[in-house]
Amino acid sequence: MSLRYGRPLVMIPGPSVIPDRVLNAMRRPLPNIYEGEVVNLTYSLLERLPALARTEHRAYIAISNGHGAWEMATTNTLSRGDKVLVLEVGHFATNWAEMAAMSGIKFEVLHAPDRAAIEFDAVLDRLRADVGREFAAVFVAQTDTSTTVRNDIAAVRRALDEADHPALLMADCVASLGCEPFEMDAWGVDVTVAGSQKGLMVPPGLGIVWVGPKAWEAHQRADLRTAYWDWSRRTDPDAHYWIFCGTPPVQHLWGLAEALDMIDEEGLENIWARHDVMARAVHAAVDAWSAPDALELNVPVPSHRSNSVTLVRTGEVPAGQIRHTCEGEAGLTLGLNIQGDPDAAFRIGHMGHLNPPMLLGTIGTIEAVLGSMDAPMGGSGAAAAASVIAQATTPVPKPAPGPEDLWS
């Protein structure tokens, strides 16, 4: 006997749960791609995407994952021999720079303190020390999906301004866009990178890059430009064929349009607020479970924690057994620790299409599995998470008498 039968739930930090509305919107036969609906859809998506990153400037859609979007950002703005300052709180900003290094970019990594966000003073000091203005760009991830640390992107802008440093600010928002507050223009971000499959609730396959005016200027001088990724070619107003440098990802575009409709209906700020509640519920649960040599949050400082994913350290409790029991016996897939030992931690993705039954079901299931393993637990994470959800829930008043009275 197993309890796993029923609708499986995948709570990993991307790809995230795809709403049925998005799946249904994609389930259509191929249309004419030369003219008509799909061309109009493409232009309307390009018009709608800037609002998502809170910018007035242009967005580009690549047929790629986040790694492709990184490459689009790098090759369009930088030149061979340029140096990049990498602000690292985990893996991802460095992985981005390592890819750029294959094209001849040099980089230096500035590490944040262990399990914490990047420090304003450290960034400011390093930028001030760069008297020769060697750094052409700063790479930073808003949420690092491995450590689940969140960086203060506006603070990085302040450091650049205080140091009077001309480097481009390039932000990886793959795991945070549509989950965390992000204000590309107000925060002075020059390039924003995202993908379709995390906060945006669309299957993997679209890389999205937003380009501010300073990045566009750098693009004019960049010598790493390649035909496939080139923004200028993809901007040609008379040749929609070049927007995707070839055949458009039609089904993904329908999916993205539906997801943007859902985002508009809920409101971006409400979405940020919902993610904040869900994240606090997860944090409260893990804090409640905490016990010596057992579970604890990876990120101790609340303001340094991501709103979209949480790394849970498991001490002497084998995380692999937690994940495999959740999946095999309860139909719940949790995220792997990509920070080394897979038995040392697991991750809970809480991004995108997520409501309390999904979240409390996840927390309650983990708690049941911990119980089945006789793992040490300080207290009930399920009760702690429910109490966070309760504080954010408005009771609905008794409705006026209506047809449902037939049932009473």
Ligand X SMILES: *Cc1c(COP(=O)(O)O)cnc(C)c1O
352 binds ligand X (CB under 6 A): no
Complex with ligand X: residue 195 or 364, whichever CB lies closer: 195
- The continuous run of DSSP H or E covering 111 comes out as strand 106-111
Binding mask 8-47 for ligand X (x = CB under 6 A): ------x---------------------------------
Complex with ligand X: residue 115 or 240, whichever CB lies closer: 115
Angle among Cα 24, 270, 304 to the nearest 5 degrees reads: 110
Find the helix packing angle between 92-101 and 66-77, rounded to 10°. Answer: 50
**Of 59-67, 120-128, 208-216, 327-335, which part binds ligand X (CB under 6 A)?**
59-67
Judged by CB under 6 A, the number of residues near ligand X is 14
Complex with ligand X: residue 65 or 290, whichever CB lies closer: 65
Instruction: Please state, in angstroms and rounded to a whole number, the distance separating the CA atoms of residues 37 and 14.
Output: 30
**Of 39-47, 141-149, 223-231, 384-392, which part binds ligand X (CB under 6 A)?**
141-149
Task: Tokens for 67, please give them.
Answer: 């790694």
Find the helix packing angle between 356-372 and 268-289, rounded to 10°. Answer: 20
Residues forming beta bridges with residue 59, ordered by sequence position: 210
Question: In 10 A of CB 34, how many CB atoms?
Answer: 9
Distances (CA, A) of 139 to 96, 145, 258: 8, 15, 31
149 binds ligand X (CB under 6 A): no
Of the candidates 22, 50, 66, 168, which one interacts with ligand X according to CB under 6 A? Answer: 66
**Of 169-177, 210-218, 235-243, 275-283, which part binds ligand X (CB under 6 A)?**
169-177
Instruction: Please state, in angstroms and rounded to a whole number, the distance separating the CA atoms of residues 395 and 393.
Output: 6
Of the candidates 65, 74, 251, 298, which one interacts with ligand X according to CB under 6 A? Answer: 65
87 binds ligand X (CB under 6 A): no
172 binds ligand X (CB under 6 A): yes
Task: Look up tokens 């040392």; give the residue.
Answer: 344
Instruction: Please state, in angstroms and rounded to a whole number, the distance separating the CA atoms of residues 127 and 86.
Output: 12
CA-only gyration radius of the chain, Å: 22
189 binds ligand X (CB under 6 A): no
**Of 37-45, 99-107, 172-180, 250-258, which part binds ligand X (CB under 6 A)?**
172-180
Contacts of 319 (CB under 8 A, 6+ apart): 312, 337, 342, 343, 344, 345, 346
174 binds ligand X (CB under 6 A): yes
- The continuous run of DSSP H or E covering 393 comes out as none
282 binds ligand X (CB under 6 A): no
Of the candidates 60, 92, 231, 346, which one interacts with ligand X according to CB under 6 A? Answer: 92
Complex with ligand X: residue 163 or 309, whichever CB lies closer: 309
* Interacting positions 241-260 with ligand X (CB under 6 A): none
Which residues here bind ligand X, judged by CB under 6 A? Answer: 14, 65-67, 92, 141, 143-145, 172, 174-175, 195, 204
